[in-house]
Every structure is written in structure tokens, then in C-alpha cells.
Amino acid sequence: MRIVVAVKQIPDLVEELELTADGTDVDRELLKMVVNEFDDQALEEGLCLKEAGDAELVVVALDEPDVDQTLHAALAKGADAAIKLTGALTGWIDSHRRAALLASWLSGQSFDLVLTGVQAADDLDGQLPGLLGAQLEVPHISVAVRVEAEDGMAKVWQELAGGTVVVDEVRLPAVIGVQAARQAPRYVSISRIRQAQQSGGITEVEVQAAELGTEQFALRRLVAPEAAGHAEMLAGGAGEVADRIVELLRAKGLVRS
Amino acid sequence: MGNDVLVLAEHRNGRLSDVTFELVGKARELADRGGGRVLAVLLGETSLAHELGVADVVLCSEDPAVATYNAQAYERAMVHVVERQQPRLVLTSTTTVGMDVSTALSVHWPAPLASYVVDVRRDGEDLAVTCRAYGGKLLAEVALTGPRAICAVIAGCFPAADGRSEVAGRSEVAGQVELLDLEGVFDGLGVSVAQVVEPEKGDVDITAADLLVSVGRGIGSRENLEVVQELADALGAPLAASRPLIDQGWLPKARQVGKSGLTVRPKVYLALGISGAPEHLEGMQHAETVIACNTDPKAPIFDVATYGTTVDLFDLTDELVKRVQE
């Protein structure tokens, strides 16, 4: 079995999101980029699948800022190969184009399963798993919380609203959008990542994607939301804040007076 | 090209979800302005069609392939319907169902798609759409051009009352109910549903509590849960959590607040170390009072909180425990 895990970089949301001068994108040169957390879950589920059976795991990403670090980490965790798709890739890459670029590479590959994060913080024109599955014309399931596979079939645990889980039997190949792996993503030490880095291991492949109708989606500008309201900030240190909170709870009859 | 607005109805355990009424209400407004009809697609539970009286036509199917949610069967049915109806706009939610269907439609129909939509308006020939982006830290203003479009809308952004026939002043049976002919549409499906697993009832019911102590990623490590549990115990409140903690297996699923967890409406929701991702806010924004503690003064949780503080959550927890135990 051949498993492909598609990962991408997104701005670290812990940091302040600076915008470019024209306001249509976040400032990618300034921002720290990290792996999409759901892609990390997809990688972990892929690694679990690989360990459970006889599978080859290939991790693939577009050539985006700081992506080498992510690919090296994936190799250090146990991926068999890392592919970096290069081309004219700058700025925000919408999901339709991302799917087309990945599909273009995948069309020359054999694969049974494509695992990727269920969503990302910047997938404004839709989530990658459904777009990629539809473009490849293979089944796709999003919000997976467990995947098992053998003999051309996968069992996919798909979570619906309210926590109901549908267990699907899916004919392979298929694209699965992973919400959470069966276990927390594994830790890999910096020294192991360095080792992976020193032994090379990233294969660059230039891709060209067919033109897609994404020009009908025009991102005019990004703005900071004007909150309808904002919390009244409680002044003082922890002690004073605690006094206020206890007072509030008491007023609502939620702590004994 | 028509001006119809088509809504995919979602239901669970024999009930239409709130977001369905939210979408139908919005569809009504948009269709009325553009001189089109509201079409609702209802797969699997035809008996609920009478609740969709705000729609002009309810297109139903009781085909066994869509009796329970099957991602591929839903996709095929929806592609079949939109190719025949050619609506101006398709509205889905951003739930699992909405994500599966909206993306597939965007490729197969095809049409531009905007996701995480919080507002959609007509703007001349185009649609002006506002989307939540970057974990709620930014909003994106998007123009969807061309003759047709798809919007996947975040639950809770439009009033559900506008889509409920009894409130909107429409007779329950105003809508015409049509059975879809889906002969051959489900041939050769590559997805079949083997089992449906309902969530386990937890030891505590967080939806019934007047006071909830809820923790997020900000607590850092599993060991720190004890500290927060001590506060919850002192307050006699159940401990709830946001998605990342549940995914780590630190607390059972029955304690999860948010889109894929439970919706809670306590008198007081004490949010500790929760940044307020849109998916989390969906599950708790209707709490009577929200008190949030997060070291990031720009965390989105403060936009929905009544009271906020940026003090260290462990310092605050210690101080609260002291006072409550006195």
C-alpha cells in the first residue's frame, strides 16, 4: 500500500498577523510559518497505518516558506520519502489551485490513500480533501478520526456534528481529510530532524497545473474583525480578578455566599 | 440563468438542524431580492419536509443510499440536482456534510466556492461574501463573480427564526414537495456506511450545568489538568474542554464544547486558556455570561466574553480555589 500525506504551511496564529500593504494577504515574509496542525494529525494517522501493516508513506508539500523543516520532521518521524512540488508558487495559494497542483503530481503516481488535514486556517475557497478527491474523481471523506486500510478498502471513522461517528467502507484509492489521528502526533527531537536534514531526502519536482476557474473567487481584502462587543477587562492582578469573579458567581447564586 | 437559491438541509436523529433554518431564512431573503425561488434538498428524512415551508420547493429522496449520511451518495445526489436546477447560489453549512458536499460541487458543477461564510449579499451581478479566516483573527472580503456560486456558511451567523415557517408567517405546507428521481445516480458507489456510532453518554452532562469550567490548549500539559479540576471540584462545576484537549485524550469526548462536540448554554462559562477558535465559539457563544482568561489580549474569545482577564491562568486558578474553599 502507498500512502501519500499532503502537508502545508500556515502562518503561526499565535503571532500577530501583519498584512501586506494592499491588504489582500498576510505578510508571508514577516510571519513565522508552521505546519497546519491538521496535516500533522494526518501524518500521524499515516504513520500509524504504516506501522500497522506493510505500507510506504510519502509526504508531499508545495514549495512554501519554511516547508523544508516540516518535510525533514516528517522524514525523521518515519516517512519513507518527501516530495517538494516547485513552480511559480508565491503568496496565498488557494485550495482549488493547491488541489490542482497536487492532482497533477498524483496523476503520475500510484497511490492507495491520500491523507491530509481536514481544514486549514486559510482555506477560504474550500477544504483541500473534498476538492482534491473531486478533481481526482475518487471518493473523499472529511473529518476522519481513524483510518484503517487493507486489500483495496479503507475503513474510515467520520465524525458528524454532535459527535456521531459514521464508519464508512471506502473503495481505494481515496482522499481522507483527517481531523484527529488515533493518537497524539509523535514528538521528534531536533537532533533527529537535523539528521534527516543532513542526509538530504527531499526530492524536488516541478509541477504545472491546468488552469482552473478560481478567478471567479476574488479576495478583495483582509480586515481585522470589528467585534460586536468586547469583554470588559477585569483590572488588577490574579487576586483582584479572583475577587471579582467570585463576586460575579455569587451574584448568580453559583457559589455559596 | 435563474435566480434560485438552493439549500442543502441537514438533519440528525429525526430533527432538522438549526443551521438548516438559518440557511433557509437567508436563502429566502436573497431569493426575494433577486426574484428567484428557494429550493431545499432534503435527503433521507422526507417526513421533515413540512417544516421547510419557507422554501418554495422541497426536493426529497428516501433512497436507501441516503438513509444515513454517505459522503459520496450525498455528493452524487447534489450534483444531480444542481445540474438540473441550475440555481444562482447553493448554500451549505461548514459541518462535515457541508464540507464534503460544497467542495465536491465546486469541482463537479463547477462553481466558485467561499467557505466559513459569515455574511453574503448581492452586489450587482456578483455576490459580496465575508468569510472568517485565520482562526477568526481576520475576515476576508470576497467577491464571487460569474453566474453561479456556492457558499458554505458557519452555523449561528443568521437567525434561525427566519427559516422556521411558523415564525416567518408561512403555512407549513406552503412549500411544494417533490420526490427526486435518482435512478442510476448511486450506481457503483465506492462508499458504504458500515455502522453509525452515537457518542457515549458521559459521566457528567455538561449541557445541564449552570456553571462550567472549561479549559483549552493554554493549560500546556496534561499534568496541569489537576489544578483546573481542583477548581472545578471546589466550584461544584463540571470540567469541559475545547477540541485540542479532547483530541489528545486528556478528557473524554462527552466533555467537548464546540462544533463537533456539545453546545452549552450555562449561566456562567469560565474559559481558561481558550483562544476562541470559531469552532469552539459555535458551542458556547450563547452562554449567559462568559468569563475568559487568556494571556493573549487579542484572543478571539474576548470578543464573545462578558468579562476578561490576561492574568496567568494558574495564578488565577489558585486564587479562586483559595476564595471558594474559604
Q: Which of residues 48-107 of B touch A (CB under 8 A)?
A: 68-72, 75, 95-97, 99-104, 106-107
Quickly name the fold that domain B211-325 has: Rossmann fold (3.40.50)
B55: left (phi over 0), alpha (psi -120 to 50) or beta: beta
> A99: domain CATH number?
3.40.50.620
Does position A56 have pLDDT exceeding 60, yes or no? yes
Are residues A124 and A245 located together in one domain of the fold?
no
The full set of domain ranges for chain B reads 5-179, 211-325
| Residue B259 pLDDT level (bands cut at 50, 70, 90) | confident
Q: Do A248 and B235 touch (CB under 8 A)?
A: no
Query: Considering chain B, what percentage of its residues have pLDDT values greater than 70?
Result: 97
Are residues A37 and A131 located together in one domain of the fold?
yes
Are residues A50 and A162 located together in one domain of the fold?
yes
Name the average pLDDT for chain B.
Answer: 92
Q: Do A121 and B106 touch (CB under 8 A)?
A: no
Are residues A45 and A118 located together in one domain of the fold?
yes
Are residues A91 and A153 located together in one domain of the fold?
yes
A21 within some domain: yes
Domain count, chain A: 2
Are residues A117 and A242 located together in one domain of the fold?
no
Q: Do B103 and A234 touch (CB under 8 A)?
A: no
A67 within some domain: yes
Of B79, B67, B42, nearest to B57 by C-alpha is B42
Report, as an integer, the average pLDDT of A185-190.
93
Q: Which of B142, B196, B270 sits opposite A164 (nearest CB)?
A: B196
Question: H or E element: which one contains B105?
Answer: helix B96-108
A225 within some domain: no
| Residue B173 pLDDT level (bands cut at 50, 70, 90) | low
A94 touches chain B (CB under 8 A): no
Query: Considering chain A, what percentage of its residues have pLDDT values greater than 70?
Result: 96
Q: pLDDT, tens digit, for every residue of A144-177?
A: 999 999 889 999 999 998 778 999 999 999 999 9
| Residue A210 pLDDT level (bands cut at 50, 70, 90) | low
Are residues A119 and A245 located together in one domain of the fold?
no
Q: Which domain holds residue A124?
A: 2-216
Report d(CA A189, CA A195) in Å as an integer.
Answer: 10
Could you check whether B5-179 and B211-325 share the same CATH topology?
Answer: yes
Q: pLDDT, tens digit, for every residue of B303-322?
A: 899 999 999 999 999 999 99
B205 touches chain A (CB under 8 A): no
Report d(CA A222, CA B34) in Å as an integer.
Answer: 28
A139 within some domain: yes
Q: Which of residues 22-51 of B touch A (CB under 8 A)?
A: none
Are residues A197 and A244 located together in one domain of the fold?
no
B291 touches chain A (CB under 8 A): yes
Strand B15-16 with B11-12, pairing: antiparallel
Size of interface A-B (CB pairs under 8 A): 283
Are residues A194 and A84 located together in one domain of the fold?
yes
Most B CBs within 10 A among A160, A171, A175, hence the mutation to make, goes to: A160
Q: B181 near B43, Cβ under 8 Å?
A: no
Report d(CA B152, CA B99) in Å as an integer.
Answer: 7
A151: left (phi over 0), alpha (psi -120 to 50) or beta: left
Q: Which of A131, A167, A255 sits opposite B194 (nearest CB)?
A: A167
Report, as an integer, the average pLDDT of B118-128.
95
Q: pLDDT, tens digit, for every residue of A110-153?
A: 999 999 999 999 999 999 999 999 999 999 999 999 999 988 99
Report, as an integer, the average pLDDT of A193-199.
91
- Which residue did the predictor score with more confidence, A218 or B279? A218
Which CA distances in Å does B88 have to A216, B7, B142, B149? 14, 11, 17, 6
| Residue A103 pLDDT level (bands cut at 50, 70, 90) | very high
CATH of B5-179, picked from 3.40.50.920, 3.30.420.40, 3.30.2350.10, 3.40.50.620, is: 3.40.50.620
A103 touches chain B (CB under 8 A): no
| Residue B169 pLDDT level (bands cut at 50, 70, 90) | low
Are residues A28 and A119 located together in one domain of the fold?
yes
Name the average pLDDT for chain A.
Answer: 92
Lowest mean pLDDT among A169-183, A202-216, A224-238: A202-216
Q: What is the pLDDT of residue B143?
A: 97
Q: pLDDT, tens digit, for every residue of B176-199?
A: 999 999 999 999 999 999 999 987
With both helix axes pointing from N to C terminus, report the angle between A67-77 and A190-198 in degrees, rounded to the nearest 10. 100
Are residues A170 and A44 located together in one domain of the fold?
yes
Please say whether the dihedral angle defined by the alpha carbons of residues B86, A219, A210 and A99, taken in this order, is positive or negative.
Answer: negative
A222 within some domain: no
Report d(CA B78, CA A7) in Å as an integer.
Answer: 29
A20 within some domain: yes
Q: How far is B29 from chain A (nearest CA, A)?
A: 23
A223 within some domain: no
B35: left (phi over 0), alpha (psi -120 to 50) or beta: left
Q: pLDDT, tens digit, for every residue of A10-53?
A: 999 888 889 999 999 999 888 999 999 999 999 999 999 999 98
DSSP result, B275-310: ---HHHHHHHTT-SEEEEE-S-TT-THHHH-SEEE-
Of B219, B304, B297, B205, nearest to B255 by C-alpha is B205
Q: What is the pLDDT of residue A81?
A: 97
Q: How far is B249 from chain A (nearest CA, A)?
A: 8
**Exposed/middle/buried for B220, CB within 10 Å: 0-12, 13-18, 19+?**
exposed
Report d(CA B235, CA B223) in Å as an integer.
Answer: 20
Of A43, A32, A31, A33, nearest to A7 by C-alpha is A43
Q: Which of A162, A166, A248 sits opposite B196 (nearest CB)?
A: A166
A25 within some domain: yes
B229 touches chain A (CB under 8 A): no
Does position A91 have pLDDT exceeding 60, yes or no? yes
Q: What is the pLDDT of residue B174?
A: 57
Q: What is the pLDDT of residue B284?
A: 93
A52 touches chain B (CB under 8 A): no
Are residues A118 and A245 located together in one domain of the fold?
no
- Which residue did the predictor score with more confidence, B248 or B19? B19
